[in-house]
Structure 1
Amino acid sequence: MAQSIKRVVPLEQFKLIIEFDDGSLRQFPHARVTDTPLWFLAFPSKLRTCEVSPSGLQWQAVDQTLMWGGQNVWAQHASLDIPTLQEWSSPITLDELSMSLLNVAMTNQAPTEQDARHHVYFVGIRPFCEDNWVVLGESIGGGFAERGGSVALAVENLDSFSDWRGHCVLAGCDWMVALLEANVSDAQRKACILERYGASLTA
């Protein structure tokens, strides 16, 4: 039986995780694409806009502008079937992915009492982590004077964070509050977050 794609999960560090119907996982792309025909997928914002079907991935031209080397990154398009994706990807395990992060939202709220120019609130998720998968953090100052930090929590432990609801609002993802409070499974929460995040990329 031919292999088919079950889902695709974006992560930080310029990669997509492709999950197949047989449970196998592959990291795409497995190497730098800058000097290849897929050069535009070196831009995470473009890489994450892929359309997923059981038989492959597609990137459509989008009505946005990001110029690089005289070409518009968003105007590029590609369609890769499973054999091609296999060539451009490498296998990866759940253990290797357990701590991998996707930043769902981040907003600079400066000026604040802590810093006049750089006080970024962010909320992320660890899509392949089973327990402490909600990440809340701040970046204050930036550069060598960086302050702040982050914490990873299970949903049932969110109230141990002083004001996680307010933190979501400050980060720019107030919509996550109701979802994290909903009486649904973590798998459902993650799926909804990834869907909402994907829709925001080309909004």
Structure 2
Amino acid sequence: MERWHNRIAVVTGASSGIGTAVVKDLVREGVIVVALARRMDRLEAIRNTLPKDQQSRLHVQKCDVTKENDVNDTFDWIEQTLGGVDILINNAGVLIPGVLLTQSLSEINQVLQTNIVGVVHCTQRAFKSMKSRNFDGHVFLINSLTGHGVLTCPPDEVPNFSIYGPSKYAITSITEVLRQEFRGYKTKIKVTVSTNIK
């Protein structure tokens, strides 16, 4: 982790679960972290749990990754205030239980906007920052087991994961697309997918 000491890491979906754990680990390792989420009260609470000498390493920003203006404003702030993005952890994700055949399109769209479009937009902004500074950064995409295989339900049950699995399948594909694009742009930016158990 020494290479990343005092570098800038952006973590989406930082207000709970994996996002919170990643934020705390990075701050503890000497990385300057920008934690993004919709719930500022939770982000502030995370900062308050850190040792006093680490709290200044955590910046919190309200950002809904499904909103283009939120993402642009947040990454503009990072560029202007901290100088750029060196690491991006795309952790924001949502599962809205339902049946694909009957679930409302607005709920399906919310999952797709969060789990796919938000990842793409944040990655575009991080890449722009890294490339403009000729910095070989790292992009992480947090995936799910459902991004590698469809969960099978008993024959007499109707599954209720709806579009979540397909959205995570997209992350598997996006990871390879990004790897090839980073190579095509002659960068040494790395992309890593990490699969959690849900």
User: Same fold by TM (over 0.5)?
Assistant: no
Answer 1 or 2: higher relative contact order, Cα 8 Å, separation at least 6.
2
Name the structure with the higher helix share: 2
Output the TM-score relative to the length of structure 2.
Answer: 0.29
Pair member with larger Rg: 1
